[in-house]
Amino acid sequence: MTDWKTRTKLVHEGSRRSQYGEMAEAIFLTQGFAYESAESAEARFVKAGDDEFIYARYGNPTTRMFEERIAGLEGTEDAFATASGMAAVNGALTSMLRAGDHVVSSRALFGSCLYILEEVLTRYGVKVTFVDGADLDQWRAAVVPGTKAVFFESMSNPTLELVDIRAVSEIAHAVGALVIVDNVFATPIFSRAVEQGADVVVYSTTKHIDGQGRALGGVVCGTKDYIRKVLEPYMKHTGGSMSPFTSWIMLNGMATLDLRCRAMAESALKVARALEGDARLSRVIYPGLESHPQHALAMAQMGSGGTLVTFDIAAGKEAAFRFMNALEIAKISNNLGDAKSIATHPATTTHQRLAPEVKAQLGITPGLIRFSVGLEDADDLIADLKQALDKM
């Protein structure tokens, strides 16, 4: 790791050049590596050096560049790149847990994260306690001596509720539990999760890191011991590694990550301000607005409100659908952090599976729209949203 500032790291950290001195990061599109001799093959299987690779499922020079770049950005000793965000979440949890272990998790989770905690881990005898992530008393009551890990999304999907990383980390560390944070909504640019106490930080790189909606990917950042001794054996033997081609896409995405996240967050604040107070909306949720109940925490934790705005169309589902269908610039889809603005109706898509009472508990109302602010001009986006509200 170097002491470069963020933008320099995003362009140069972790770069490896072949004997040709290529400028652009090379894609090593190879499953394996030839050894000089039988003896060197044996030696590499005993212990692979820093620049020695065996098989792409175990590691690859292009993937290694991406891992070093993101670890440098996040401020962790190491990172492991995975085939998707879900491979990262699953690996981060499953690699360290065994039957009988206890985990505490926030309840407001991305649907697939909920599936891993609720359905997969419990099937193998892990005990999971769910809490309201914003309620520190619930965390204090649920985390007990022997709790192995706590897991939460630092900003929840789709209602943009924050979990206080510093406070929950203190509660967890008091009993020796590992703090695993899914930090997608916060983005690596606004993340200070490690500084605030997180031990392991997980990203779906499908979102802001790619930033152009091209490839699925994920990454787990943590200490060298956790990444190489706990996570890597699990990932490399169960087949969840990132492909070299995807690593190359993510490496290229990183060069512009800071510029993109800041531009999107700046537009998101403008969009939220333009929507706030509109009588057709019963709520406008954006942590960067002073009206957000956790505005102070958002500023302390991320220094930004992030790149998503969520709002509730008071007239309900049919009106929300008319609004979405009237959008001319923003697309109806379910990714986020893309250059293209995206409107999502969580109740009927990403969170459709949840029971009505769970939706109600999580604030996923029939009129709720999650809006991922892209790189278009903010004034054009505001005009698009306003005209769609008028047509609704």
Ligand X SMILES: *Cc1c(COP(=O)(O)O)cnc(C)c1O
Instruction: Kindly state the smallest distance separating residue 337's Cβ from ligand X, in Å.
Output: 8
Question: Is residue 53 at the binding interface for ligand X, with CB under 6 A as the rule?
Answer: no
Question: Is residue 253 at the binding interface for ligand X, with CB under 6 A as the rule?
Answer: no
Q: Which is nearer to ligand X, 53 or 344 (CB)?
A: 344
| DSSP code of residue 230 | I
Q: Which is nearer to ligand X, 211 or 218 (CB)?
A: 218
Q: Which is nearer to ligand X, 274 or 373 (CB)?
A: 373
Listed in sequence order, the residues at least 6 apart from 321 whose beta carbon sits closer than 8 Å to its beta carbon are: 345
Q: Which stretch binds ligand X (CB under 6 A): 66-74, 107-115, 188-196, 367-375?
A: 107-115
Q: Which is nearer to ligand X, 268 or 274 (CB)?
A: 268
- CA 326 to centroid of chain Cα atoms: 30
Other C-beta atoms within 10 Å of 18: how many?
Answer: 9
Residues of this chain, 206-235, that bind ligand X according to CB under 6 A? 206-207, 216, 218
Supply φ then ψ for residue 342, to 5 degrees: -135, 130
Angle (CA) 236-238-241 rounded to 5° is 50
Q: Which is nearer to ligand X, 374 or 388 (CB)?
A: 374
Question: Is residue 105 at the binding interface for ligand X, with CB under 6 A as the rule?
Answer: no
> Which residue, judged by CB position, is nearest to ligand X in the bound state?
85
Q: Which stretch binds ligand X (CB under 6 A): 105-113, 139-147, 274-282, 318-326?
A: 105-113
The Cα-based distances of 361 to 48, 131, 241, 380 in angstroms read 50, 12, 36, 34
Q: Which is nearer to ligand X, 274 or 302 (CB)?
A: 302
Candidate list 10, 93, 103, 113; residue touching ligand X; CB under 6 A: 113
Strand duo 127-131 + 147-153: pairing: unpaired
Token code pair at residue 183: 């930090």
Q: Put residue 237 in one of left, alpha, beta given phi > 0 → left and psi -120 to 50 → alpha.
A: alpha
Q: Are 198 and 165 in contact (CB under 8 A)?
A: yes
> What is the spatial distance between Cα 219 and Cα 70, in angstroms, rounded to a whole number?
8
Candidate list 94, 157, 159, 246; residue touching ligand X; CB under 6 A: 157
Question: Is residue 70 at the binding interface for ligand X, with CB under 6 A as the rule?
Answer: no
Candidate list 56, 70, 86, 163; residue touching ligand X; CB under 6 A: 86
Give the relative orientation of helices 378-391 and 257-275 as an angle to the nearest 10 degrees. 40
- CA 234 to centroid of chain Cα atoms: 20
Question: Is residue 89 at the binding interface for ligand X, with CB under 6 A as the rule?
Answer: yes
Count interface residues toward ligand X (CB under 6 A).
16
Question: Is residue 182 at the binding interface for ligand X, with CB under 6 A as the rule?
Answer: yes
The Cα-based distances of 166 to 152, 280, 301 in angstroms read 13, 37, 8
Question: Is residue 204 at the binding interface for ligand X, with CB under 6 A as the rule?
Answer: yes
Question: Is residue 191 at the binding interface for ligand X, with CB under 6 A as the rule?
Answer: no
Q: By the criterion CB under 6 A, which residues form the site for ligand X?
A: 84-86, 89, 110, 112-113, 153, 157, 182, 184, 204, 206-207, 216, 218
